[in-house]
Amino acid sequence: MSLRTAVQTLFESTHPSALDTAGQGKKLAIVVPCYNEQEVLPTTIRRLIEVRDKLALEGLIRADSSITFVDDGSRDQTWRLIEDGARAHAGVHGIKLSRNRGHQNALIAGLLHVDGDMVISVDADLQDDLGAIRQMVLKYHDGCDIVYGVRSHRASDTFFKRFTAESFYRLLDLLGVDVVFNHADYRLMSRAAIEALKAYREVNLYLRGIIPQLGFRTDVVTYERAERFAGESKYPLTKMLALAWNGLTSFSPSPLRWITGIGIVVSLFSFGIGGWALTATLVFHTAIPGWASTVIPMYFLGGIQLLSLGIIGEYVSKIYLETKARPRFIIEKTV
Ligand code: UDP
Ligand code: MG
């Protein structure tokens, strides 16, 4: 029995509503980014309300805890469904972004907009087991500021997705970026952690890279990730690659250093070749090296230079975007 449960049992036996009072003090805000989720949204709204009400009954959260859906510029009936939900149920809210800004921006719009002593972000498609919300809240009451939802396995993924995800996490790790393996934005953050997150003003957002940098007391909750409940993935390969690219280039200048390193090695190598060609000509009077030794290094160096320029360009464009400090989202209306 953990200390907390022991204390609770003691409290409950002397004062039946002790736990209630503790939970009622803490407000939970759930944030759900939605992009063209009309197929699944009615079920998601219903299930999340069930989860919230159960937790409130248990006394783990306040009864007026909120559920906020962020419509990321959907082109289907998503916003209408959110509006209906907000009218029909207390504590259900909607934020409509003025256009599609992508999952990460929709998420931060929600996270920064809601109040609540703790905030949980979860996808709209019911892939993430909602049962983990209770565990996250329990860990919050245990004193954690950030609780990561981590997938116990990736059996529901295709081989391609498993392979690319694994390689990506390993690469990030190699580059010295702090990431939680198999965690995808299903997490709890305390008010303190959210306030700290506000200081990160970057436009190229990769939350999974930023949150571990915040520090605080963190923990992990493992859960099984199901198939999408309805509709299809809103993360096509192009969006996935864009996110991965952001993760790589926003957190580590290492790729740039690698290129510099390769540049140095290649240059030394070409000096060697040059020296050898000179010796062959001046000392041994053998035939000068021919076409291959001239043209191959030329192309090779040309390629390396282009690659280096491209990568430098990538960092420069990031600086450019950051210095503009454009808003990451624009809220059109709320209900
Ligand atoms: N999403 C979003 N904006 C986008 C793409 C996705 O708000 O441009 C939301 C989407 O509605 C879902 C979550 O982000 O709630 C995760 O997307 P999805 O489930 O399609 O990704 P997958 O699980 O296939 O990686
Ligand atoms: Mg999904």
Average pLDDT over residues 1-22: 46
Question: What is the reported pLDDT for 308?
Answer: 84
Transcribe 221-266 into DSSP letters. EEE-B---SSS--S--HHHHHHHHHHHHHHH--HHHHHHHHHHHHH
| Separation of CA 302 and ligand 2 centre (Å) | 42
More confident residue, 91 or 245: 91
More confident residue, 104 or 335: 104
CA dihedral defined by 309, 314, 316, 317, rounded to 10 degrees?
130
User: Tell me, what DSSP letter sits at residue 145?
Assistant: S
Question: What is the reported pLDDT for 20?
Answer: 47
pLDDT in tens, 181-237: 999 899 999 999 999 999 888 888 889 988 998 889 999 999 998 888 888 888 888
Average pLDDT over residues 65-69: 97
Place of tokens 């076409």: 291
Question: How many Å apart are CA 317 and CA 289, to the nearest integer?
Answer: 42
Roughly how many angstroms between the first and final C-alpha of the chain, as a whole number?
Answer: 43
More confident residue, 254 or 103: 103
Ligand 1, residue 101: give the atom nearest the CA.
Answer: 8
Place of tokens 């000179």: 278
| Separation of CA 234 and ligand 1 centre (Å) | 5
Q: How confident is the model at residue 292 (pLDDT cuts 50, 70, 90)?
A: low
Question: What is the reported pLDDT for 291?
Answer: 64
Question: Which residue puts its alpha carbon closest to atom 19 of ligand 1?
Answer: 233
Q: Could you tell me if the CB of 229 is within 6 A of ligand 1? A: no
More confident residue, 263 or 58: 58
Question: Which segment of 4-13, 75-84, 263-272 scores lowest on mean pLDDT?
Answer: 4-13
pLDDT in tens, 154-166: 877 888 888 888 8
Question: What is the reported pLDDT for 29?
Answer: 97
Question: What is the reported pLDDT for 9?
Answer: 47
Query: Candidates 123, 229, 329: which one to mutate for ligand 1, based on the most atoms within 8 Å of Cβ?
Result: 123
Query: Candidates 35, 48, 76: which one to mutate for ligand 1, based on the most atoms within 8 Å of Cβ?
Result: 35
Rg over alpha carbons for the chain, rounded to the nearest Å, is 26
Residue percentage of the chain with pLDDT more than 70:
90
Q: What share of the chain is helix, strand, coil (3-state, %, to 5)?
A: 55, 15, 30
Closest ligand relative to 35 C-alpha: 1
Question: What is the reported pLDDT for 256?
Answer: 74
| Separation of CA 124 and ligand 1 centre (Å) | 7
Q: Could you give the angle at the alpha carbon of 188 between the alpha carbons of 50 and 47, nearest 5°?
A: 15
Transcribe 267-308 into DSSP letters. HHHHHHHHHHHHHHHHTS-PPPP-HHHHHHHHHHHHHHHHHH
| pTM confidence score | 0.80
Question: How many Å apart are CA 67 and CA 53, to the nearest integer?
Answer: 11
Question: What is the reported pLDDT for 321?
Answer: 75
Question: Which residue puts its alpha carbon closest to atom 23 of ligand 1?
Answer: 233
CA dihedral defined by 240, 246, 252, 258, rounded to 10 degrees?
70
Question: What is the reported pLDDT for 287?
Answer: 60
Q: Is the pLDDT of residue 31 over 90?
A: yes
Task: Round the average pLDDT of the chain to a whole number and report it.
Answer: 85
Question: What is the reported pLDDT for 23?
Answer: 54
Closest ligand relative to 97 C-alpha: 1
Q: Could you tell me if the CB of 133 is within 6 A of ligand 1? A: no
Q: Could you tell me if the CB of 33 is within 6 A of ligand 1? A: yes
Question: What is the reported pLDDT for 33?
Answer: 97
More confident residue, 134 or 321: 134
Give SS3 for 34.
strand
pLDDT in tens, 92-138: 999 999 999 999 999 999 999 999 999 999 999 999 999 999 999 99
Q: Could you tell me if the CB of 102 is within 6 A of ligand 1? A: yes
